[in-house]
Amino acid sequence: MNTPTMSQPHWRKSSHSGGDEGNCVEIADLSDQIAIRDSKNFAAGHLTLTRQHFTSLLAQLASQP
């Protein structure tokens, strides 16, 4: 039985990720979910959140000093 392969997600680097600062985050739109990964460590995999949880995460991060 052949299992259909998921198309490769289009990863985008955060505009807040500095060049050589080591804090590089990428996101990908997976239709009903958002994937987040460390752009310098692809082997670590990615975190997948619902759009609602991703929005909540961004709001929480924005409220931090």
Indicate the number of domains in the chain: 1
Structure tokens at 51: 């759009």
In a domain, 19, yes or no: no
Q: What is the pLDDT of residue 39?
A: 85
Please compute, for residue 31, the number of CA atoms within 13 A of its CA located in the half-sphere on the CB side: 3
**DSSP class of residue 12?**
E
In this structure, what token pair is assigned to residue 60? 């929480």
The answer to whether residue 52 is domain-embedded is yes
* DSSP state, residue 22: S
Residue 53's domain comprises 28-38+46-65
Percent of the chain with pLDDT strictly greater than 90: 48
Report pLDDT digits (tens) over 16-45: 666 666 678 899 999 899 999 988 888 899
Beta strands of 1-65 (E only): which ranges?
Answer: 11-13, 25-29, 33-38, 47-50
